[in-house]
Structure formats: structure tokens, C-alpha cells
Amino acid sequence: MKHRLAAIHRLVAGGLLATALALPAAALAVLSAAPALAQETPVRGGTMNIIVQPEPPLLVLGLNQQGPTQTVAGKIYQGLLTYDQKLNPMPSLAKSWTVSPDGLTYTFKLQENVKWHDGKPFTAKDVVFTTSKFLVETHPRGRAVFSRCSSITALDDQTVEFKLKEPFPAFIQAFEVSSAPMMPAHIYEGTDYRANPANATPIGTGPFKFKEWVKGSYIHLVRNDDYFKPGQPYLDGIYFRVIPDGVSRALALESGQVQQTQYSDVEPFDVPRLRQLPHLEMTTKGYEFVAPMSWLEINHRVKPLDDKRFRKAIAHAIDRTFIRDKIWFGLGRVPTGPINSVVKFHDPKVTVYEHSPDKAKQLLDEMGLKPGADGTRATVKVMPMPYGETWSRLGEYLKQALGKVGVKVVLESTDAGGWSQRVANWDYEITTNFLYQYGDPALGVARTYISDNIRKGVMFSNTMGYSNPKVDELFAGAAREIDPAKRQEMYSEVQRILTDEVPVVWLLEMEFPTFIDKRVKNANTTAIGVNDTYDDVYMTAK
């Protein structure tokens, strides 16, 4: 597969049908999704205000992939590719690529005249460093993906070749900005990545440069005047406003003080009112690539959480339909297991845990956890993720629901940085969490359950400590299998095993409401959505 970007540009500029007929189907798919086809002429200037909640712990995307970090840092850093809303790859720092017929060699040609924000040139050396050294140490998915390469080579300054040890069909989807943010080798090579002083002032190649961070108030990005796309970005800058209170966030959007919210910025109970406002548009698009799945994350190192009967009891004790309808106000779908129903290879024919307090009590009785004088069978600590009032409400619901079957819940609270640190270092019992699936189970699902991704200190890895050699074998086999039917067989079997062992309790296939002021054009046009570069976003007067 090879994208002929120059041909696409000729078509856009001149409307040449003959050129279109000469393009491969993949290129036409890119063309049909290209934001450059907006009818209005982009307006240069203006500053956009976007809510970020909670405040990111840091902005170096290679070191932290929490949702708020992705939204801000996706404007600073870039990957080799981005993806349209049908998950077709599109150019970003790579302008074209080829895949060998045997599926083992991927060759990327890089964009020309790309510079880091400190003026140094971006070259193939940076790609090799990022994918062979930096991400395999710091990134929960990077190690799993790029350790599959037998070699990563800079053929010249503008060409990078990845040779795989064996076929890995999901590899082409591993290059968006949060999966593989390109990092500057001249700043990080030979250093302690996490302790590098440059982490305070992130340097990327993106359309916006880091200007200022006033903790607790805002993060200010400004236009990168040396951006490789002529005339872009259109905006002068972006302020990411830190507004911890949900009521204040809704008011800021309603009054026009901010022009965009995303993810959990708007509490679900505010959605029906805000979507009626004439100056706003609401969409749930832009999350196709991430396909978020939320769950109760359970530390298997703690008793009685290490017993699958206890985890099954939790699954029966909670009412996930109630969680969707009353806490998330209908946003989302009740899951059947570990693979989101919008992701390839989902199989609904698995063990499903209906809401049944009686079955929960039977399982606890079977374990010998009899109720004491106060009705308590066991006590667990639950640490809701600090991402807004809805997650706090979920924590309160869990306390009530588990209490009804004799499991006493002690709620713990922390900030975003503390939460990430505690979960990454296994210092928790139960927490709420959501992870992204990235269009293929080999990228976004397996990492949570495979044994060799139990990595202390690394967030969004197998932090539960779950291990099953058969699950490891099935995920490994499905990842390298080229035949889709055989991949489905293996993924179906692994879903049956996981739903029997319940390493986590799956809660919701999440849908996020994104609100955008109608004056903002070209925002949220790809499967990366609000985390994409925004290099072609502009604002009109009305």
C-alpha cells in the first residue's frame, strides 16, 4: 500500500477527475475524509479555549498517556500516521509508506523540512530512537509492539524501515500520536527519560509549541511558525483551561468562554440541556480509534480479590444497566467482555454476569465469607479515578451495591497524578479505569491481560497482576495470524476464558459527548478526534 500525497494535493487544488481515477482506493479513502475539502476558506488567527480536566500530570506524551495528556500533547507531538473515522491510515509525519507482500517489512518516507520546536531537524534517526529505545522502556504498548521488530533502520534521513520477526497485521495501526509519539533523540538519548529536565518544557514537531503552564489555571500553546505545512496552523494558539468543578465547566461552555469540551469534561447529567444550545454542536464521533472500555480494575495480589469467585460476586452485585442509564445517562453500551463491540473480533457468546445479588451471596458463601454481626463478609478499598463527579458517583454506587451483599467498601480519593502513580505501582485494591482498544485487540486489549506486560511503575499495563499461560498463548497466536477467520477463533476462545476468570469487571463501552462551538471549523474530523493535531482548525467570527 502506498499513498501518493502529491496526487491528492493536485486533485484538491484543481478538481481533476482524471487524477482521481488514477489514484488507488486507499488514497481515495484519504481524500474523501480530508478536512482540506471544507467549503469555507480557512481564516488565519484567533485563539481557541478548550477545557482540560483533570489537569495533566505532565505533557510529555511518551511518558504519560492519560486522557488529558493526550488532548493537550497531541498538538505538540505527532506520530507517523493519523487515521480517518473508518480507521484507514493517513499521512502525518510520514508522507507515504509501503508494506512488503509477506507483511514483514514496513517502509516509511518522512515529510520534508520538519523541525523540532527548538529548530533542530526531525529525521529518521528520531524515529529509530523513539521506537527502538524510548517507547520500549516507557510506553505500555510500545514495548509490546516494537519488540516485534527484528530491526528498525534509518535507510537515509527521510526513510525508515521496520522489519518484523513475524507477521503482525495490526502493526500499521500502531503509529498514531498517543501510540507512538515521536521523541527528539538529541534531547533524550543517553539520559534518564523520566528525570530529564526537558520534561518541563516539551519539545515536539507539532503545529503548536508549549508556551506556559500556570498550574491549576491553564496551559498555553502558541503557533509553530516553522510547521512543515505551509500556512498552517491557522490558530494563533490554544488555551487549555483547567476547571475542576463540573458546574463551572458547563457554565464556561454555555457562556462561550470555552469553545470545546471532550471525554468526561461535561457530566452526563448536563448533556441533555447543553445539546439544546444553539451555538453548540454535540457529537460522539472522534473516538473510533480508541474505542474506550471502562472497568473495575482489581489487584489480584490482595486477598480475597485473588479468588475469581470473589470477582464474579462483584460482577453479579452491580447493575451495569443502571450504571449506564442513571450514572452515564444512556451514553454507552453494556459490554459482554474484554473486546468492545465496535472493535474487530468481538464475540458476544461468552459468560455474562447479570445483576443478581443472590448469586453474589452464594459465591461469597462458597468462599466461606459468612456475614458477621453487622452483615459484613469482607472489606475492600475502592479508589475511583479522579476524572469528575460522574466517577465519584460511580464510587458511591459501588459502595451501596457491594454493601448489599456484605462487601464493605472504603472509598479512597486522590488527584490525577497520585492515582496514576498508585495504580502503576500496584498500591491499590480496586479502582475504576478505562482503556482504549486502538482498533485491534493486538494493540489495545492484549496488553491488559498478558503476563509479560506486568510492569511495575508503568501505567495502563497489566497492573492487576493477572496471569494465564493459555491467555498469553492465544493473544500471541492471534497477533501474528494473517487469516482473519483463524484470528477470530483465537480471540473468541480468549474472550471465553477471560469472562470466566474475570480479571477485571467490565462496566461500560463508553461514548463521550464532545461539544464544539459552531464558530470552530475542522475540529474532530478523524478517528483520533480531539487528540489530533488541529493543524487545520480555524475559527470564524460567527
* Distance separating alpha carbons of residues 358 and 313, to the nearest angstrom: 9
Helix pair 484-501, 308-317: axis angle to 10 deg? 90
pLDDT in tens, 369-386: 999 999 999 999 999 999
DSSP state of 386: S
Contact (CB, 8 A) for 173 and 89 = yes
% of the chain with per-residue pLDDT over 90 = 82
* Whether the model pTM is above 0.85: no
**Sheet architecture: strand order including 94-99:** 94-99, 105-110, 159-164, 149-156
Quick one: which of 313, 289, 408, 412 has its CA closest to 366? Answer: 313
* Distance separating alpha carbons of residues 244 and 501, to the nearest angstrom: 37
Quick one: which of 106, 109, 108 has its CA closest to 167? Answer: 106
Cell of 362: 452464594
The residue-averaged pLDDT of 336-341 equals 96
* Distance separating alpha carbons of residues 384 and 398, to the nearest angstrom: 10
The residue-averaged pLDDT of 102-123 equals 97
DSSP string, 454-504: --TT-TTSSTT----HHHHHHHHHHHH---HHHHHHHHHHHHHHHHHH-SE
Contact (CB, 8 A) for 194 and 137 = no
Contact (CB, 8 A) for 332 and 340 = no
467: confidence class by pLDDT, cuts 50, 70, 90: very high
Q: What is the 3-state secondary structure (H, E, C) of 115-161?
A: ECCCCCECCHHHHHHHHHHHHHHHCCCHHHHHCCEEEEEEEECCEEE
Looking at per-residue pLDDT, the higher value among 214 and 13 belongs to 214
* Distance separating alpha carbons of residues 89 and 158, to the nearest angstrom: 19
pLDDT of 248: 95
The residue-averaged pLDDT of 408-435 equals 96
Domains of the chain: 1-33 (no CATH), 77-197 (3.90.76.10), 206-287+512-539 (3.40.190.10), 293-509 (3.10.105.10)
pLDDT of 524: 92
CB neighbours of residue 359 within 10 Å: 17
Beta pairing partners, 228: none
The number of C-alpha atoms within 13 Å of 260 and in the hemisphere containing its C-beta is: 27
**Residue 409: is its pLDDT beyond 60?**
yes
pLDDT of 482: 85
Contact (CB, 8 A) for 389 and 413 = no
pLDDT in tens, 296-314: 999 999 999 999 999 999 9
